[in-house]
Amino acid sequence: MRSFLTGPLPRLLPVGLFVVALQRTVLTEIRPFGVVFQIVLALAAATGAGTGPERGAVAGFTLGLMYDLSTGTPIGLTALVYGLAGFVAGYVLSLTPTPPWWLCGLFTALGAAVGETFTPIAQALIGDDSRFDQRLFVIVPVVAGFAFVLSPLFVPLGRWCMCVRRPKWKAMPEGER
């Protein structure tokens, strides 16, 4: 019980609920170029960029599941896609354990782009009619750009949700050198 309460779920669930509510209310009205910003996807990718591939995949899976439950898409579909987005974004930590903010932003955008591109692919895999059209070339950059803009806020939020602290460099004591 204690491990559950100190784990990531009690933090991720309410944050996820609020972000999903924002997705369904505010962002459906604000549509530049006819594209809906994907704030849940941005959070999933940013969490991956801040915490690594595994935790990013878990966070993306959870957030995607909440999205599926609230929007009527097949349960598990968005969870799979957002898990993939978090996983891809988490690879920034394989380059450096303390990436700068702009590198986190780039990988967050990359994760969001991968997630948004794989959404129609996943829908096609489960038998939904193909939704590939030229709009994809507008949708993916806009969604990725939005994720990049939000990454300075969402990467620390993602770390907090997953109970991960940013590693700090510490000088080695003289005797151990």
Partner 1 sequence: MAVYSIGRRRVIALLVLTSILLITFDTRGSAILDRGRSIFALALEPFDAASRTISRPIVNAWNGITNYDDLRRENQVLQAQLDAQQGAVIEARAAILEYQELLTLNRLLGTSDYPTVTAQVQGTRPGNFQYTVEINRGSKDGIAVGMPVVNGRGLVGKINTVFPNSAIVLLIIDPGFNIGAKVLTAADGTIEVPTSTPLRPTEQGAPTATSTTTTTTTIADALAPPVGPLDPINPATTSTTVAPSTTIDPTAPVTSTGATFDPTLSTVSTVTTQPTVTTTTVPREIIRETGTLTGQGPDQPLILRFIEDSSSYGRVKVGSPVQTAGGLRSIAPPGLPIGTVSAVTPQTGTRTLRVEVTLGAGSLDKLNFVQVLRFTPATSGS
What are the residues binding partner 1 (CB under 8 A)? 17-18, 20-30, 34-36, 38, 53-54, 57-58, 61, 65-67, 69-77, 79-80, 83, 87, 94, 116, 119-120, 123, 126-131, 133, 135, 139, 143
DSSP annotation of 175: G
CA dist 26 and 79 (Å) reads: 22
Between 3 and 177, whose beta carbon lies closer to partner 1? 3
Between 137 and 174, whose beta carbon lies closer to partner 1? 137
Whole-number minimum distance, CB 109 to partner 1, in Å?
16
Between 47 and 123, whose beta carbon lies closer to partner 1? 123
Whole-number minimum distance, CB 173 to partner 1, in Å?
24
Reading the block at residue 64, the tokens are 């995607």
Whole-number minimum distance, CB 148 to partner 1, in Å?
17
Q: Cβ contacts of residue 81 below 8 Å, gap of 6+?
A: 64, 115, 118, 119, 122
Which residue's entry shows tokens 């999903």? 20
Whole-number minimum distance, CB 170 to partner 1, in Å?
19
Interhelix angle 39-51/101-125, rounded to 10 degrees, is: 120
Between 83 and 111, whose beta carbon lies closer to partner 1? 83
Reading the block at residue 20, the tokens are 């999903």
Between 130 and 174, whose beta carbon lies closer to partner 1? 130
Sequence length of the chain is: 177
Closest to 135 measured CA to CA, from 117, 148, 122, 123: 117
Whole-number minimum distance, CB 38 to partner 1, in Å?
7
CB 20 within 8 Å of CB 42: no
- Element containing residue 42 per DSSP (H, E): helix 39-51
